[in-house]
């Protein structure tokens, strides 16, 4: 893709992400959170199973299944908490709070792996905490975070754990439907 189109592609991705938050909240008017998670996972399985079957590399690496369990567990927790969080938070708050996973990921990488965050990551974390402070209403003296807002922060934490675990898994065991990491 030409670099001149990159900002447009990024804007389009952000729009789809935002529309997804609204769609997920609206779906909960007709089905429960567990059904919504099940439906999302069924769609993901339908897309991923052919890719897994296409993978030529046998699964024999040391620690592969333990790593898959960690990645899957973190994602399952994140997506399940996310669906329940929609019941108690506005779409606006949900959209902001779930994206705090981006600034939580370097923190998790530091705690779990000892990877030290750079200045830009630390600045982004401080700004995000300021945004959470403003959303909570604490600046007016009376915090008004609902249980859904808190659940979104917990979901964001699990998404951050998932991203770190997924990165470690890919580094150790190779990328799906592609060359093994050791052959790169």
Rounded-to-integer distance, Cα 14 and Cα 100, Å: 15
**DSSP string over 121-150:** HHHHHHHHHHHHHHHHTGGGTS----HHHH
| CA–CA gap between residue 165 and residue 108 (Å, rounded) | 10
Question: What's the pLDDT band for 60 if we cut at 50, 70, 90?
Answer: low
- For 39, residues 6+ apart whose C-beta sits below 8 A from its C-beta are 31
Look at residue 57 in the predicted model and tell me its pLDDT. 63
Nearest Cα residue to 61 out of 164, 168, 184: 168
Cβ 153 vs Cβ 132: under 8 Å? yes
**CB contact burial 140-176 (16+ within 10 A = b; e otherwise):** eeeeebeebbebbbbbbbbbbbbbbbbebbeeebbee
Check whether 177 has a pLDDT greater than 60: no
pLDDT of residue 183 exceeding 50? no
pLDDT at 1: 58
Average pLDDT over residues 29-48: 86
Q: What is the mean pLDDT of the chain?
A: 80
pLDDT of residue 129: 80
């Amino acid at each position: 893709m030409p670099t001149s189109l990159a900002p447009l592609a990024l804007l389009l991705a952000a729009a789809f992400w935002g529309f997804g938050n609204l769609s997920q909240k609206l779906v909960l008017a007709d089905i429960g959170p567990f059904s919504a998670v099940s439906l999302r996972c069924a769609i993901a399985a339908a897309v991923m199973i052919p890719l897994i079957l296409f993978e030529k590399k046998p699964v024999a690496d040391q620690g592969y299944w333990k790593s898959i369990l960690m990645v899957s567990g973190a994602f399952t927790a994140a997506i399940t908490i996310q669906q329940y969080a929609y019941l108690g938070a506005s779409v606006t708050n949900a959209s902001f709070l779930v994206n705090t996973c981006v600034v939580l990921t370097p923190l998790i990488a530091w705690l779990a792996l000892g990877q030290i965050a750079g200045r830009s990551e630390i600045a982004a974390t401080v700004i995000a905490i300021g945004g959470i402070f403003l959303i909570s209403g604490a600046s007016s003296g009376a915090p008004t975070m609902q249980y859904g807002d808190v659940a979104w922060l917990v979901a964001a934490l699990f998404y951050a754990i998932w991203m770190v675990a997924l990165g470690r898994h890919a580094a150790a065991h190779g990328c799906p439907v592609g060359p093994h990491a050791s052959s790169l």
